[in-house]
Structure 1
Amino acid sequence: MNIKNIFKNKSTMSTENTDKEILENETVNQAENAPLEVETAEELSVEQKLEEDLANEKDKHLRLFAEFENYKKRTSKERIELFKTANQDVLQSILPVLDDFDRAMVEISKSDDEVLLKGVELIYEKLKSTLVSKGLEEVEVRSGDAFNADFAEAITQIPAPTPALKGKIVDVIEKGYKLGDKIIRFPKVVIGQ
């Protein structure tokens, strides 16, 4: 071997070694960087998972808050309804007395004693105004009105005195009353057939 060949072989070897070293270094660098990329991907997935968890918790919180608001509204409405109808039993027990007063007013108005009539009217109006102030209202039904089973109770049917009263209210036997929007006693009526 001559010197030229030796140098040539050495430079070829060093180039080959250098290429091998570069390839090895790149492989090592890629191997070292690969876990970093995996770690970064894992960090992103952990970060994304935390964001999803946060979003889920916010959603749960909002739903719970809305549910609580609905609960407050519902209980408030129920409480108002309870206050409106709390004295329903007392008012229902007074209704027969009010009916007796109505009958008494009819009979007293037939007498000639105006002082007695004025005194009973005064007491009657005072009782009615007190009951109205507590929320009691009379259910309005009259002779000639169309019969509606939602607002009146038919006791019996009679032949209609006129063709115009067929299927309509002929007579109101007992007045009906409601407390707020709730009917506590249906009017009792006679309908024509």
Structure 2
Amino acid sequence: MKEKEEIKKKEESAEEESQSVDQTTEIPVEDEKTDLEKANEKIAELEDKYLRQVAEFDNYRRRVMKEKAELILNGGEKVLTEILPIVDDLERAEQQMEQMTDVDAVKKGVELIIDKFIKFLNSQGVKEIDTKDQDFDVNYHEAITMVPSQNDDQKGKVIDCVTKGYTLNDKVIRYAKVVVAN
């Protein structure tokens, strides 16, 4: 009998323990709702931030494209306005040539205009490619003809420049057209 009583007591204590465990592991429904609501609020907040970032980036991309298009359209404006005084000088020289009889004065005026234009080009980063007594270099020269050399020292050298070449900030924008000794 004692054994039966002990078994009953053990069963009762086990039931009490399981009930107490059930009570402690149960989460109130209200707490579950607030956690779910908090998570939903956080998701909504992050979604809102994401949408704002996407919209901001899209606006930035459009603005950059618009600025780029404006630069392409108006990028040469400064250069062109700096060329206009040279055009004015050429027009004045043309008017004076009709009245002038002194060829040297006309020649001097044209030389001044050319010098002014070359200074302008230099200020924009345009430099003339040197060809005089230079070795032929495919990076800067375009050989339009080759002539037999009179001595071995001239072989592979530029002996005449037909059209000047130019670089813009060290990038070739027009190759010098040259005659090369062979």
The normalised TM-score by structure 2 is 0.53
Shift of 1:60: 1.3
Aligned partner letter, 2:110: Y
Pick the aligned partner of 1:163 from 152, 155, 159. Answer: 152
Aligned CA distance change for structure 1 residues 52 and 150 (closer, same or farther; 3 Å): same
Number of aligned residue pairs: 139
- Tell me if structure 2 keeps the 8 A contact 1:174–1:189: yes
What is aligned with 1:44? 38
Aligned CA distance change for structure 1 residues 42 and 129 (closer, same or farther; 3 Å): same
Equivalent residues in 2 for 1:24-173 (5 A)?
Answer: 33-34=28-29, 36-68=30-62, 70-71=64-65, 74-79=68-73, 81-83=75-77, 116-117=103-104, 119-129=105-115, 131-132=117-118, 135=121, 139-173=128-162
Give the Cα separation in 1 of the matches to 2:140 and 2:79. 18
Aligned partner letter, 2:77: F
Deviations 1:32-77 (A, max 9, x none): x32x233223212211211221231232144235424533553354
Provide structure 2 residue ranges, at least 5 long, that are not aligned to the other structure. 1-18, 82-86, 88-101
Deviations 1:95-130 (A, max 9, x none): xxxxxxxxxxxxxxxxxxxx633x133222243145
Give the Cα separation in 2 of the matches to 1:149 and 1:174. 15
- Tell me if structure 1 keeps the 8 A contact 2:129–2:140: no
What is aligned with 1:19? none
Shift of 1:86: 6.2
Give the Cα separation in 2 of the matches to 1:56 and 1:142. 60
Aligned partner letter, 1:116: V
Q: Tell which deviates more after alignment, 170-179 or 153-162.
A: 170-179
What is aligned with 2:3? none
Percent of counterpart pairs with the same letter? Answer: 21
Shift of 1:174: 2.6
Give the Cα separation in 2 of the matches to 1:149 and 1:79. 33
Aligned CA distance change for structure 1 residues 84 and 132 (closer, same or farther; 3 Å): farther
Aligned CA distance change for structure 1 residues 156 and 78 (closer, same or farther; 3 Å): same
Structure with max Cα Rg: 1
Aligned CA distance change for structure 1 residues 166 and 184 (closer, same or farther; 3 Å): same
Secondary structure (helix, strand or coil) at the match of 2:48 reads: helix
Give the Cα separation in 2 of the matches to 1:83 and 1:120. 31
What is aligned with 1:189? 178
